[in-house]
Structures are given as structure tokens and as C-alpha cells.
Chains A and B, each alone.
Chain A
Amino acid sequence: AQSVTQLDSQVPVFEEAPVELRCNYSSSVSVYLFWYVQYPNQGLQLLLKYLSGSTLVKGINGFEAEFNKSQTSFHLRKPSVHISDTAEYFCAVSDRGYGNKLVFGAGTILRVKS
């Protein structure tokens, strides 16, 4: 069964600093990869997704992620964070052929400090 590991449960960072949130998934033949963000008392919002093609994926709010097949990783990055980026971030994977069945990581809380 597919699994996702988010290596950091919390990441504190100062405003305007760069950030990287790490995500590794268990190997499979081919997968789709996603990053979602959840603000307090809200549902999930898609930041970006990797389906195929270019390994560097750009998303909303200045976020980007790089798919690395050999390391089975899909780390999320932002060059300069804002206070408003404080939220919980989830990495998710779905196996091709399993429709919309997403397997989520445990989440990483990003705390941006002024």
C-alpha cells in the first residue's frame, strides 16, 4: 500500500525567509503527487500537483515543488514566506489506476514569525 512521510511535524521560519517542507512517498510504478494547504477551521486547498512531464511544478501563492523519482521525494518550497502562509501543509499521493483515492502524509505545520 502506498504511504507518505512528511519528515517535519512543525517548521518555524521567519517572515521573508525561504522554506522547504519535505515529503517522501513509498515507491510505486507511477503516481500522482499533490500538496494541499489547510487553514484553521477550513477544508483543504490544492497548492500544486505533479502528473507527468517537467519535474518542477509551480503552484499558487508562489509555491513550487520538485518531483525526484530516484529519491521518491516531492519537496515543497517557497523562496520568501509571509505571515499569511502560516497553515498546515499536506503531501498526498494517488496511484494511477485508483481514481481519486488520496493517501495523505501526517502534515507539516508551517509557523511564520515576524
Chain B
Amino acid sequence: KAGVTQTPRYLIKTRGQQVTLSCSPISGHRSVSWYQQTPGQGLQFLFEYFSETQRNKGNFPGRFSGRQFSNSRSEMNVSTLELGDSALYLCASSAGLAGGWADTQYFGPGTRLTVL
């Protein structure tokens, strides 16, 4: 099976712009989670989507949003980019078993976003 893919792998934007990142989960997986990784704050949970519905949300401002499509592919959007949004954005997919409470999450390689 192909792993989790994320596009693009690298992205450079300027302050004030918006950006959309894409994640294709492992075939058959129904849950997609997004994480932000920075040197200062570490790995932080953004949100999780399961069957096109947001199931969990982290403590990020409303500029960060996401969605999931019927084929389980997910996108996250960041509007009005700030310098502090520079980070590695990781997507993880899991099968989405009953309740999803014990899923193993498989991570993609990430999208490196640089905001200038």
C-alpha cells in the first residue's frame, strides 16, 4: 500500500497570503489528522477529520481550517499568513476504527512552509 502523501513538499509564501496544503491518506483510511511542528513549540495537534466531519480540534486560531472530502483526502488552509506560521505541517492517517480511540496513525513526510 502506498503511504500517506502530502503536497507540496515545500512552499514559500509571504505574510498576508493564504495557503492550502493537501494530504492523501493510506487507501481505506477514514481519519486524517494535522499537526504543526516548529522548533519552539514542538509538535502540536491542529485538527482531525473523520468521515468528512471535524472530530477533534486543537488550540489554533480560526485562520487555520481544514476539510475532508468523500474520498478521505484532506486539505488544510491557513489564511492571512504570519511569520510564526513557518513550520513543518504533518498529516497522519488512520483506519478510523470503532471510536478511533486506539488507532495507529501513519504520518506523511510533511509540507515545509516558509513565510517571508
Chain A positions near chain B (C-beta within 8 angstroms): 32, 36, 41-46, 49, 51, 90, 92, 94, 96-107
Contacts and interface: CB of A to CB of B under 8 A. Distances in A.
B22 interface: no
Nearest to A107: B42
Mostly, the B contact residues are strand
Contact of A101 (B56, B104, B109): B56
Contacts of A104: 35, 42-44
Contacts of A51: 102
Given A101-B58, A103-B45, A104-B42, A44 B107 contact: yes
A101 B45 contact: yes
* Interface footprint category on B: 20 to 34
26 contacts: A32-B101, A36-B107, A41-B109, A43-B4, A43-B108, A43-B109, A43-B110, A44-B107, A46-B105, A51-B102, A90-B43, A92-B43, A96-B101, A98-B101, A99-B31, A99-B50, A99-B56, A99-B103, A100-B48, A100-B92, A101-B33, A101-B56, A103-B45, A104-B35, A104-B44, A107-B43
A100 B31 contact: yes
Given A106-B42, A107-B42, A100 B4 contact: no
Nearest to B104: A46
B42 to A, nearest CB: 5
B25 to A, nearest CB: 12
Top-5 shortest CB links A-B: A43-B107, A104-B43, A44-B107, A101-B56, A99-B100
B99 interface: yes
A92 B48 CA distance: 16
A46 B94 CA distance: 12
A106 B40 CA distance: 9
B21 interface: no
A51 B35 CA distance: 22
